[in-house]
Amino acid sequence: MQILGYIGYAILIFFALTWTLGVRVKLAAGLPTIMGALFYVVVAIIVEVFGINKLHSWWLLPLGIIFTMLCVFILANEIPLLYSLVKIVGSFYAGIIRIGIPADKIKASQYSDAVETVTRKQNVT
């Protein structure tokens, strides 16, 4: 069982690293993606620091996807208090992850992604 726990924890760390690198590399990543990356990083740290059985990683992995979907719901429906909390925490985490990347480059990437999305949506209809 201990081996299964370490395999699950390795997958959890893999998710934390890949999602965090995705936030850093894909500058137009949305808040749900950023919050998902933050979830996996925090959970991986908590499991290790508090000595929690690594077998718990197996239920934490799908919980990260559910958490990301919950963030999409909160942002789409603009739930008053939670909307602001998600925006503030996500922006703070993205700011930390993207240290060293010029702000104008981030804004240009986000703008071009928004234009591409609108153009694609107009072409579909």
* Contact assessment for residue 38 and residue 88, using Cβ atoms and an 8 Å cutoff: no
d(CA 33, CA 37): 6
pLDDT tens per residue, range 21-79: 999 999 888 899 999 999 999 999 999 999 999 999 999 999 999 999 999 999 999 99
Residue 125 pLDDT > 70: no
Question: What is the per-residue burial (b if ≥16 Cβ within 10 Å, else e) of 88-121?
Answer: eebeebbeebbeeeeeeeeeeeeeeeeeeeeeee
Query: In the predicted model, is pLDDT for residue 124 greater than 80?
Result: no
This prediction's pTM? 0.88
pLDDT of residue 119: 86
pLDDT at 1 over 90: no
